[in-house]
Structure 1
């Protein structure tokens, strides 16, 4: 993993507690996420990885504690966040939209008063599909694609937003080894060359480790309870452990 200059805090969580029903799944979490880094969130099933993303994005409210998501960059421009949840299974064979229509929807928040696509919007859609190898499938219906192809289209839609921060929940589901490597390299360029932020839930730390700046590891054990530990590019644990 590499070490890079930290620019600013994207998300700050302090003493966060959250659960479902009467079951606590996140306990006393304090965590800062910095911009300009490639960050992995890892851990076994049931460790609340997806829940952590939803809390960070404000999709779920904590029982207690505070969560602040920075929406403005240092130069005063708004921070756009692209989010790719675990959506593949929801696109069944009867899903009517074409690939290019779904990816175009990622641009809607950038359209002006008259909601008309400009040349730059069309180019962003094309570029995002080309980056994930799905341009030639642009006129196919989503429901006709394989699981891995659907996953690529979801990633393309997020890239079409041209986000400053890209948050992905297990985006390699359904991808073969070669496709996974292509995705890691794409995301690495997004961070290295464009100065963006990538936060990704993954079980494949050994594969992705060479590209990462930081790992947030979650785990739940009977003897120690729920726990969050953070490792930076020097492989030194720091921060909060619950």
Structure 2
């Protein structure tokens, strides 16, 4: 089911456009990859698709009926590993617990169900044994996995990942892609991942949005499908300019 539709979108910063006449679709329950060189406005495209940025012109339509409960619940893992320095005071389990707070509301008490969600999220990324460690003591790859666990603890229906495997070794990266594939296939989650590791991730993805620079010196945004039965033919060509 169609989750988000962008048509003829133009957006930029200050007075300089970074995407121009862009048309793309995102479907509920798919694992979508966004790739391209630095400066190709990948994160900007991602935020436009989810209505987190308002386009200068064109339309972005979110289909609430495609979402469980009719409400968009976004789990977001940005590129923030470097911000957790050696002096960061929180423990791993405290940070992951914070992912549950929005669902608890003002008057709901922490309970065994929430604790089980935190435990499951940490175990799924292989960080349960590190739950009492301080974030600042971890390696870059370990910090990244803790941030992913926090996003999973939110129980989102859309999970946004910006270069999520940074700092992970090959085995950990593959395990991560398998985990995301499980959430999409078994739980109907929509996962959108900005990545440079397309060769490794492609077998797990349903579709890829690839930004490439052509001879005309503009960005060509080509959407291709790994699952032709579900999503049909390769489609949707639009152009954008580098940021």
**TM-score normalised by the chain length of structure 2:** 0.90
SS at match of 1:129: helix
Contact persistence 1:227–1:241 (CA under 8 A): yes
Contact persistence 2:67–2:157 (CA under 8 A): no
Identify which range, 222-231 or 75-84, moves more after superposition. Answer: 75-84
Contact persistence 1:70–1:79 (CA under 8 A): no
CA distance 1:112–1:72, shift in 2 (3 Å): farther
Residue aligning to 1:241: 238
Q: Greater helix percent: which structure?
A: 2
CA distance 1:74–1:24, shift in 2 (3 Å): closer
SS at match of 2:99: helix
Contact persistence 1:12–1:69 (CA under 8 A): yes
Equivalent residues in 2 for 1:17-166, closer than 5 Å: 17-73=10-66, 76-166=69-159
Contact persistence 2:12–2:19 (CA under 8 A): yes
> What whole-Å deviation, never above 9, does each CA across 1:120-165 have from its counterpart, x for those lacking one?
1110011000000111111111111111011001100010011111
Shift of 1:102: 0.9
Q: Distance in 2 between matches of 1:112 and 1:51?
A: 30
Residue aligning to 1:232: 225
CA distance 1:75–1:211, shift in 2 (3 Å): closer
Identify which range, 97-106 or 21-30, moves more after superposition. Answer: 21-30
SS at match of 1:28: strand
Shift of 1:56: 2.7
Identify which range, 213-222 or 135-144, moves more after superposition. Answer: 213-222
Shift of 1:77: 4.0
Residue aligning to 2:180: 187
Shift of 1:61: 2.6
Matched residue count: 235
Identify which range, 106-115 or 128-137, moves more after superposition. Answer: 106-115
Gaps of at least 5 residues in structure 1 are: 1-7
State yes or no: 1:207 paired with 2:200: yes
Q: Distance in 2 between matches of 1:70 and 1:224?
A: 34
Question: Cα RMSD between the aligned structures?
Answer: 1.8
Gaps of at least 5 residues in structure 2 are: none
Contact persistence 1:148–1:173 (CA under 8 A): yes
Q: Distance in 2 between matches of 1:150 and 1:70?
A: 34
Shift of 1:232: 1.1
SS at match of 1:181: helix
**TM-score normalised by the chain length of structure 1:** 0.90
